């Protein structure tokens, strides 16, 4: 997945590194090792980020925030509520326009989308799309392109099928799925990237398209 450069959103990378280091120091060395392992990042990646050897991308910061059990906004802005912390020497961080993206939780018994109470928050400069949902990938069917627990953005205004694009959809009494759509002999080939999952043919009438996946987060592949 493409790494998102947070400097384009006017976010101070030095302060992010400072906060990551400060948060890790609150834990014992044993806990620090577990946190680093949980993040899914390699030791060299983490070391380079914490020492300023490489710039932290949005995806890397999100992975570390998740492993540290802290909200992403704390590391980006120094506070837990999307606003800059005036006591964190962060006055040089710009207050930017943000969008709150509804986060799909699953399906109701009557096959309606259910959303989490919290939103996925992004700076408007990181995406130009307005008609968005987000969702956590719930299996490995699209690995290695999308892995379990990766987060994708979905443009729910796109209901028409484009060849070889990734869509989010569901069938009656099923669950929300992510697959690549291909056209084959007038039908839709629902294609998994992972050979351990079955690809199959269906028609548009037998599925409910949520929208097309337009961006992925968290995976560093």
Domain ranges of the chain: 6-88, 132-217
CATH of 132-217, one of 3.40.50.1370, 3.40.640.10, 2.60.40.1730, 2.10.109.10: 2.10.109.10
CB 103 within 8 A of CB 120: yes
Pairing label, strands 132-136, 98-107? parallel
- What does the pLDDT read at residue 177? 92
Split the chain (221 residues) into runs of 10 and give each run's mean pLDDT.
60 83 77 79 78 79 87 77 44 52 90 88 64 90 86 91 94 87 92 94 94 69 32
What homologous superfamily is domain 6-88 in, according to CATH?
lambda repressor-like DNA-binding domains (1.10.260.40)
Q: What integer pLDDT is reported at residue 11 of this predicted model?
A: 75
Distance from C-alpha of 55 to C-alpha of 52, rounded to nearest angstrom: 6
| Max CA distance (Å), the chain | 63
> What is the C-alpha to C-alpha distance for residues 182 and 188, in angstroms, rounded to an integer?
6
Residue with tokens 């992510």: 178
DSSP H helices in the chain: 13-24, 29-39, 43-50, 58-68, 72-77
């Amino acid at each position: 997945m493409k790494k998102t450069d947070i400097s384009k959103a006017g976010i101070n990378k030095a302060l992010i590194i400072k906060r990551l280091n400060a948060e890790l120091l609150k834990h014992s060395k044993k806990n620090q090792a577990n946190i680093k392992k949980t993040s899914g990042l390699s030791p060299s990646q983490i070391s380079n980020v914490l020492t300023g050897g490489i710039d932290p991308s949005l995806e890397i910061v999100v992975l570390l925030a998740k492993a540290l059990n802290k909200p992403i906004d704390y590391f980006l802005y120094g506070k837990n509520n999307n606003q800059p912390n005036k006591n964190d020497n962060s006055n040089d961080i710009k207050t930017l326009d943000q969008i709150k993206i509804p986060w799909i939780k699953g399906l109701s018994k009557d096959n309606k989308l259910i959303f989490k109470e919290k939103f996925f928050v992004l700076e408007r400069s990181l995406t130009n799309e307005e008609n968005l949902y987000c969702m956590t990938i719930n299996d490995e069917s699209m690995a290695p392109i999308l892995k379990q627990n990766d987060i994708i953005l979905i443009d729910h205004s796109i209901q028409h099928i484009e060849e070889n694009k990734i869509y989010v959809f569901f069938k009656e009494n099923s669950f929300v799925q992510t697959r690549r759509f291909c056209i084959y002999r007038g039908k839709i080939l629902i294609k998994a990237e992972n050979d351990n999952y079955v690809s199959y043919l269906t028609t548009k009438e037998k599925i409910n398209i949520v929208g097309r996946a337009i961006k992925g987060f968290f995976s560093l592949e």
